[in-house]
Structure 1
Amino acid sequence: MQKTFFPVILEKQKKLPIYLTSAGCDFYQESVDRTYGFPSYHWIQCSMGKGKIKINNERIILEKNMGMIIHKDVPHYYEPLCEKWLTDWVTFDGFAVKQLLNTLGFYKSNYYYINDISGIREKIVNCIDIGNHYNNYIELSIMNYDFVMTLPKYINRSSSPDYTTKIDIVINYINDNFYSALTIDSLANLIKVTPQYLCNIFSKATNKRPFEYVNEVRIQKSKELMLNTNFTIHEISKKVGFEDASYYGKWFKRIEKMTPGSFRKHYKGY
Structure 2
Amino acid sequence: MESKLVFCENDEMMLLPLYATTIGFWEHQVQTAREAGFPDYQMHQILEGKGELIVGDKRYIVGPGEVFFLYPDIPHEYTPISREWKLAWISFNGREAAQMLLYAGIRESGPGKLRSEAFLEPLREMLLLPDDNELGVNLERSKLLFALLLDLKQRLLPATNHEDEMERIRPVLRYIELHLHQPLVLKDMAEVIKVSPQYLCRLFQRTVRERPVTYINKQRINRSKQLMFSIRGKKIYEIAQEAGFENVSYFCAVFKKVTGMKPEEFKRLHGLD
Quick check: TM above 0.5? yes
* CA displacement at 1:103 relative to structure 2: 2.3
Shift in CA distance, 55/49, structure 1 to aligned 2, threshold 3 Å: same
Secondary structure class of the residue paired with 1:11: coil
Larger radius of gyration: 2
Does structure 2 conserve the Cα–Cα contact (< 8 Å) formed by 1:37 and 1:73? yes
> Given the alignment of the two structures, is residue 2 of structure 1 paired with residue 2 of structure 2, yes or no?
yes
> Given the alignment of the two structures, is residue 150 of structure 1 paired with residue 156 of structure 2, yes or no?
no
Within 5 Å, which residues of 2 pair with 1:1-270?
1-120=1-120, 122-132=121-131, 135=134, 136-161=137-162, 165=166, 193=198
Distance in structure 1 (CA, Å) of the matches to 2:59 and 2:22:
25
The root-mean-square deviation of aligned C-alpha atoms, in Å, is 3.7
Runs of 4+ residues over 4 Å off in structure 1: 162-166
Which stretch has the larger CA shift, 132-141 or 30-39?
132-141
* CA displacement at 1:117 relative to structure 2: 3.1
Distance in structure 2 (CA, Å) of the matches to 1:45 and 1:11:
27
Distance in structure 2 (CA, Å) of the matches to 1:162 and 1:123:
27
Q: Percent identity of the aligned residues? A: 20
Q: Output one character per residue of 1:5-36: Cα deviation in whole Å (capped at 9) or x when no partner.
A: 42242221111111111122353111111111
Distance in structure 2 (CA, Å) of the matches to 1:131 and 1:26:
17
Shift in CA distance, 126/134, structure 1 to aligned 2, threshold 3 Å: farther
Shift in CA distance, 152/16, structure 1 to aligned 2, threshold 3 Å: same
Unaligned 5+ runs, structure 2: 168-195, 210-256, 258-273
Shift in CA distance, 116/26, structure 1 to aligned 2, threshold 3 Å: farther
Distance in structure 1 (CA, Å) of the matches to 2:133 and 2:35:
34
State the AA in 1 paired with 2:126: C
TM-score with structure 1 length normalisation?
A: 0.58
Distance in structure 2 (CA, Å) of the matches to 1:145 and 1:92:
10
Distance in structure 2 (CA, Å) of the matches to 1:44 and 1:21:
14
State the AA in 2 paired with 1:4: K
State the AA in 2 paired with 1:59: R
Shift in CA distance, 6/134, structure 1 to aligned 2, threshold 3 Å: closer
State the AA in 2 paired with 1:51: G
Shift in CA distance, 38/123, structure 1 to aligned 2, threshold 3 Å: same
Unaligned 5+ runs, structure 1: 167-190, 207-239, 241-270
TM-score with structure 2 length normalisation?
A: 0.57
Aligned length: 186
Secondary structure class of the residue paired with 2:12: helix
* CA displacement at 1:43 relative to structure 2: 1.0
